Structure 1
Amino acid sequence: MLKTTINLEPGKKVYFASDQHFGAPDPKQSKLREERFIRWMDEIKHDAQVLFLMGDLFDFWHEWKHVIPKGYVRVLGKIAELKDRGIHIYFFVGNHDLWMKDYLEEEIGCTVFYKKQYFEMGGKQFLLAHGDGLGPGDKGYKRMKKVFTNPVAQWFFKW
């Protein structure tokens, strides 16, 4: 597995966010969390060099070839703004956004990882991943994940 090396600039920081589950449990509550998350991204944009989005940003994400889920326009716009400011954004696909394809990469410029990834930052080694299904046990979930990530099953779902 390849390692990504990030040379940290003086005064710059690395930020992490995970499991926002936007869209759940209902649109009203999700919108409140989205607004807080956007305010947080506004706060970090002045000193961030890297933002790791560690999966499950959305409670459900399935993108077709030319269509993405409705909503989240403010969150996606803010991520694009951070990327346009030169902040590196790495997105790790989680179990709730398994069916992410290339939208974040092509439209926003994020680097998307579907599996664990090694990083070196500030002379330290990191192994980063969303984490679902990596440990021992939970064989039922691991079988279900194989079905959900199977290209044939995904083809049937989109129809």
Structure 2
Amino acid sequence: MELPAYFISDAHLGIDPPGAVPDREQMFVRLLSSWKGKASHVVVVGDLFEFWYEYNYYIASAHFDLYRAFAELVESGVEVHVLQGNHDFAYGDFFPKHLGVPVHKSLILEIQGKRVFFTHGDGVPKSDSGYRIMRKILDLPLNRFLFKQIHPDWGMGIARFVGRNSRKCGEHRVVRIDEYLEWGDRMLKKEHCDYCIHGHHHHAGIWNTPNGVVASPGEFIKNPAILCMENGGLKLVSL
């Protein structure tokens, strides 16, 4: 029997918003450690961090235990992948080069006889049109270069300030799950996949669509949950 696979999303590590589970980064680390040698795949489906940016000689030291947990998971034989989210799209080569964890915008894997499509899911709703434009601006090579000239501590402070305010603005936004399901169903057909796994909207669920199954692990902030894949089937697990 094949080992299970685990999918997790939207931890937004680096902040502790009201109502967040206490010590959740250490909880996340313990979860990764519990899968050493006991899983075939672990996929983080975006927004692992509230903010991520790599300088040439600086990596955020607050997450050292997390880095070590990823490296040990890979060393135990587990295939680990991280996807870019809308909060942590500015990865460099630290994760693949030093931890053995490749980073992707989207990803297709063959797991337990199923073809699985992964992406974070940002930019899907029609209401995200402004975000799509802003994301392209932020990701321009010139803007990435200019941000790198800021002292890391200042850069992190700016990012957290912007993140707090954007989070307040989004607290009352209505999530249209139907938009994600329609999009997910199109992706299933386009990529010839059985499952479409995404995050972003923080709602955990497994939904049947005409072309397959669309699922989200939810979030790892206030109501931590994961998706577990065993014997070709998906199930949600609350932690």
TM-score range with shorter-chain normalisation?
Answer: 0.7 to 0.9
1:47 maps to a residue whose letter is K
The percent of aligned pairs where both chains have the same amino acid is: 32
- Asked if the contact 2:83/2:103 (under 8 Å) is kept, the reply is yes
Q: Which residue of 2 aligns with 1:123?
A: 113
* TM-score normalised per structure 1: 0.84
- Asked if the contact 2:37/2:73 (under 8 Å) is kept, the reply is no
- Asked if the contact 1:22/1:58 (under 8 Å) is kept, the reply is yes
- Asked if the contact 1:23/1:30 (under 8 Å) is kept, the reply is no
CA displacement at 1:109 relative to structure 2? 0.7
CA distance in 2, matches of 1:133, 1:147: 14
CA displacement at 1:11 relative to structure 2? 3.8
Give the aligned CA root-mean-square deviation in angstroms.
1.8
1:90 maps to a residue whose letter is H
CA distance in 2, matches of 1:101, 1:53: 16
CA distance in 2, matches of 1:31, 1:102: 30
**Structure 1 counterpart SS, 2:46:** coil
- Asked if the contact 2:108/2:115 (under 8 Å) is kept, the reply is yes
1:14 to 5, 9, 13: 5
1:154 maps to a residue whose letter is R
**Are 2:132 and 1:146 equivalent residues in the alignment?**
no
Q: Which residue of 1 aligns with 2:192?
A: none
2:93 to 84, 88, 102: 102
Q: Which residue of 1 aligns with 2:27?
A: 36
CA displacement at 1:117 relative to structure 2? 2.0
Q: Which is further off, 66-75 or 102-111?
A: 66-75
- Asked if the contact 1:63/1:99 (under 8 Å) is kept, the reply is yes
CA distance in 2, matches of 1:61, 1:31: 21
CA distance in 2, matches of 1:42, 1:110: 15
Q: Which residue of 2 aligns with 1:93?
A: 84
1:122 maps to a residue whose letter is Q
Q: Kindly tell me: are residues 75 and 30 of structure 1, through their superposed partners in 2, closer, same or farther at Cα, counting changes over 3 Å?
A: farther
CA distance in 2, matches of 1:36, 1:124: 29
How many residues are aligned here? 147
CA distance in 1, matches of 2:96, 2:33: 21
- Asked if the contact 1:11/1:47 (under 8 Å) is kept, the reply is no
Runs of 4+ aligned residues of structure 1 deviating over 4 Å after TM superposition are none
Q: Which residue of 2 aligns with 1:76?
A: 67
CA distance in 2, matches of 1:119, 1:81: 22
CA distance in 2, matches of 1:31, 1:139: 34
> What 5-or-longer segments of structure 2 have no aligned partner?
150-239
2:129 maps to a residue whose letter is K
> What 5-or-longer segments of structure 1 have no aligned partner?
1-9
- Asked if the contact 2:2/2:40 (under 8 Å) is kept, the reply is no
CA distance in 2, matches of 1:99, 1:93: 8
